[in-house]
Amino acid sequence: MKHFHLYIICPIIITLAACTGSKRDAIGHTEVTIETSEGDIIVRLYDDTPLHRDNFICNVRQGCYDGILFNRIVPEMVIQTGDTTMKAKASQTSQGCLHPSPSTGIPAEIVYPRHFHKQGALAAAREPDSINPSRLSSPLQWYIVTGKKYTSAELRELQTLIYDERVAALFETLLRQHATQIDSLRCTNHDAWQQRLNDLQVQAEQTLAVNPPQPLSETQKQTYNRLGGAPHLDGDYTVFGEVVEGMPIALRIGRTPVDAKERPRKAVYIKKVTISKM
């Protein structure tokens, strides 16, 4: 998947304790109503991702999401919002959301495979691993999975592709780490240079073999077969809730025509977000 970019953020993490005082179990009782230009969507927040849950609650209470656009739509994958600079009306301003350094983020709470990218999953956007190896989440930007259905054969092919991509990423990291040596060999000894590349490829494969991608569970397979989702995102982003009402609205937003940069060609926006149940 193309990476979710973090543009501006809110310094919520240091104030989480002040935003929620009740202890809850891991099931999740908090529900949030997202009133959009296309209709209402209700999401439930998980209690086993407490940092993300409390951060989202704080943002909602501060009015951070009121009047902002859905700034990115990937057909049959996700609808994304949370960039508080992108208002539906130029006259609107954020109500108390501050914009500190973009290096700030929420520690990852990737509870996988319990929470995966099924249709309706609510997850936090983040910067790519290359500049965000800890997978810190954006305190503002989030997405809802619209996804698509996958056959069993497609899921097997996708698992192979994910494995190959992770080997390639490890190989690229090793190339950067040994760049000086590799550049020298390329200029002085072609055979030694080729052998060194082969060795690094083997090293990348051996490293991934120690901690390979988890195979999909039967629950995941059945869900992606019947309901759909975005399985290639699993284990890489924090899923902290799910849609409980209004999924047809999210799917309608997901069908909005977009330009080459995945920007909606018409304004689709959030009117207001409120805590509807605690």
| Mean pLDDT, residues 1-11 taken together | 43
pLDDT at 6 over 90: no
Calculate mean pLDDT across residues 51-62: 96
Q: Computed over its alpha carbons, how large is the radius of gyration of the chain?
A: 21
In the predicted model, is pLDDT for residue 8 greater than 50?
Answer: no
Tokens encoding 251: 């799917």
| DSSP assignment of 213-224 | PPPPPHHHHHHH
How far is residue 126's CA from residue 237's CA, in Å, rounded to a whole number?
8
What's the pLDDT score for residue 237?
Answer: 97
Region 135-154: what's the mean pLDDT?
Answer: 97
> Position of tokens 């500049």?
131
Rounded-to-integer distance, Cα 116 and Cα 112, Å: 6
Reported as a single tens digit per residue, the pLDDT across 238-273 is: 999 999 999 999 999 999 999 999 999 999 999 999
Is the per-residue pLDDT at 103 higher than 70?
Answer: no
Its sign, for the CA torsion 148, 46, 4, 108, is negative
Contacts of 124-127 with CB under 8 Å at 24 or more apart are: 124/52, 124/237, 124/238, 124/240, 125/4, 125/5, 125/6, 125/80, 125/82, 125/237, 126/3, 126/4, 126/6, 126/237, 126/238, 127/3, 127/4, 127/5, 127/6
Instruction: Give the confidence band of 18 by pLDDT, cuts at 50, 70, 90.
Output: very low
Average pLDDT over residues 129-139: 91
Give residue 133's pLDDT band: very low, low, confident or very high (50, 70, 90): confident
CA angle at 189 for the pair 185 and 194, rounded to the nearest 5°: 70
Beta bridge mates, 104: none
Q: By three-state DSSP, how is residue 108 classified? A: coil
Confidence category of residue 91, pLDDT binned at 50, 70, 90: low
And the tokens for 231?
Answer: 């399985």
pLDDT in tens, 158-186: 999 999 999 999 999 999 999 999 999 99
Residue of higher predicted confidence among 276 and 104: 276
Would the pLDDT of 99 be above 50?
A: no
**pLDDT (0 to 100) of residue 89:** 80
Residue 26 above 90 pLDDT? no
pLDDT value at residue 5: 45
**Across residues 101-117, what is the average pLDDT?**
87
Quick check: 81 and 64 in contact, CB under 8 A? no
- When pLDDT is averaged across residues 106-124 and rounded to a whole number, the result is 97
Rounded mean pLDDT, 212-230: 96
Report the share of the chain in percent with pLDDT over 90: 79
For residue 240, which of 163, 98, 126, 94 has the smallest C-alpha distance?
Answer: 126
- Locate 253 and state its tokens: 């937003």
**pLDDT at res. 28:** 82
Mean pLDDT of the chain: 89
pTM: 0.84
